[in-house]
Amino acid sequence: MGEMEQLRKEADALKDQITAARKAVQDTTLEEAAAGVAVVGRVQMKTRKTLRGHLAKIYAMHWATDSKLCVSASQDGKLIVWDSITTNKVNAIPLKSSWVMTCAYAPSGNLVACGGLDNMCSIYNLKGKDGNVKVMRELAAHTGYLSCCRFISDTEIITSSGDCTCILWDIETGTQKTSFAGHQGDCMSLAVSPDFSYFISGACDFTAKLWDIRDGNCRQTFAGHESDINAIGFFPNGQAVITGSDDATCKLYDLRADQELITYQDSSIMCGVTSLAPSLSGRLILAGYDDFNVNIWDSLKAERVGALAGHDNRVSCIGVSADGMACCTGSWDSFLKIWN
């Protein structure tokens, strides 16, 4: 068909235009620009707490905004809310479906959410009147597994799915507000910008996309990885995105220059990145890998400056608390560890 041929040509021309426009602003590299900055000294952290209680692989964890409580999800079919300082279990929530892949803590501390192979996002109210934690809503519409979820507020949550889309939900009515379609592979992970106006998604099409939460549009697409993107996060100033992939590398993409600025890789690292989190200043990137370790990278110099070794199986999730005081790792070995 004539129009199809025309559209294909236009698509190719536009891709070339984007490549050229990115090159046109590439007056230097982050490596060159940071040449005068000294590499961070060796970072050594110790396990301060071990959170024991799950009976199977831990797939996800998320800090509460108070930097004290955190929630973890395990395929033992439980969501546990921990006091990370005392190591006490504040809540142990039994799930309808044990095939959980993600969990999230609402910024208010009132709600937690989880989901997985049931294709649903279940919202639990931690502050119910009678003290019991109950399912408040079951958000169903995805036609694939729930890979990640993040609250915007007590009334809105964003989910990413193996059905290649992300959805913004109205929790009160349990309905979809906006669907974000465009990825051509399972969406594996999402992160919300510090000002709550954008979110980024990483997918099995090897790209990361920046979405405007209010108008539903994809603003930017970042390519470069050579395999699935499993982990994604915002640089703390909200101006850059960090991704972690099965290709064994992490990358930093700047939103305003619209391009990759640097890759965090080492020839000795040959296994996939499962999770990542930046430190408070963004200078350190902590990344969990399939080889049971966490590597700590100097974000400006792309050098490995430390490692966290202590888990006996894959590190599946990692998070830095809001006050930057500690890093929490969750593993297939069923334990969570708090480090600083």
Where on the chain is the footprint of other proteins (CB under 8 A)?
A: 1, 3-4, 7-8, 10-11, 14-15, 17-18, 21-22, 24-30, 33-34, 37, 40, 43, 45, 48-49, 68, 84-85, 182, 217-221, 235-237, 239-240, 254, 256-259, 261, 279-284, 286, 299-300, 320, 323-327, 338, 340
Contact 50, 336 (CB under 8 A): yes
Name the residue nearer to other proteins (CB basis): 125 or 279.
279
Name the residue nearer to other proteins (CB basis): 156 or 260.
260
Name the residue nearer to other proteins (CB basis): 197 or 237.
237
Q: Which residues, other chains included, contact 9 with Cβ-Cβ below 8 Å and sequence gap of 6+?
A: none
CB of residue 299 vs other proteins: minimum separation in angstroms?
7
Name the residue nearer to other proteins (CB basis): 287 or 326.
326
Name the residue nearer to other proteins (CB basis): 24 or 195.
24
What span, in angstroms and rounded, lies between the C-alpha atoms of 53 and 295? 26
Torsion of CA 86, 90, 96, 100, to 10 degrees: -30
Q: Which residues, other chains included, contact 62 with Cβ-Cβ below 8 Å and sequence gap of 6+?
A: 70, 71, 103, 104, 105, 319
Q: Which amino acid is at 158?
A: I
Name the residue nearer to other proteins (CB basis): 90 or 218.
218
Task: Please give the angle made by the CA atoms of 159, 275 and 71, to the nearest 5 degrees.
Answer: 60
CB of residue 117 vs other proteins: minimum separation in angstroms?
28
Name the residue nearer to other proteins (CB basis): 73 or 210.
210
Name the residue nearer to other proteins (CB basis): 3 or 195.
3
Which parts of 127-171 are beta strand (E)? Answer: 134-140, 146-151, 156-161, 165-170
Name the residue nearer to other proteins (CB basis): 121 or 317.
317
Question: How many CB atoms sit inside 10 A of residue 151's CB?
Answer: 24
CB of residue 280 vs other proteins: minimum separation in angstroms?
4
What span, in angstroms and rounded, lies between the C-alpha atoms of 220 and 74? 33
Residue in the structure block whose two tokens are 């080889």:
291
Q: Which residues, other chains included, contact 215 with Cβ-Cβ below 8 Å and sequence gap of 6+?
A: none
CB of residue 138 vs other proteins: minimum separation in angstroms?
31
CB of residue 6 vs other proteins: minimum separation in angstroms?
9
What span, in angstroms and rounded, lies between the C-alpha atoms of 139 and 101? 15
C-alpha closest to that of 67 among 321, 339, 337, 326: 321
CB of residue 154 vs other proteins: minimum separation in angstroms?
27
CB of residue 327 vs other proteins: minimum separation in angstroms?
6
CB of residue 267 vs other proteins: minimum separation in angstroms?
25
CB of residue 142 vs other proteins: minimum separation in angstroms?
20
C-alpha closest to that of 183 among 201, 159, 157: 201
What span, in angstroms and rounded, lies between the C-alpha atoms of 282 and 297? 10
What span, in angstroms and rounded, lies between the C-alpha atoms of 203 and 210? 12
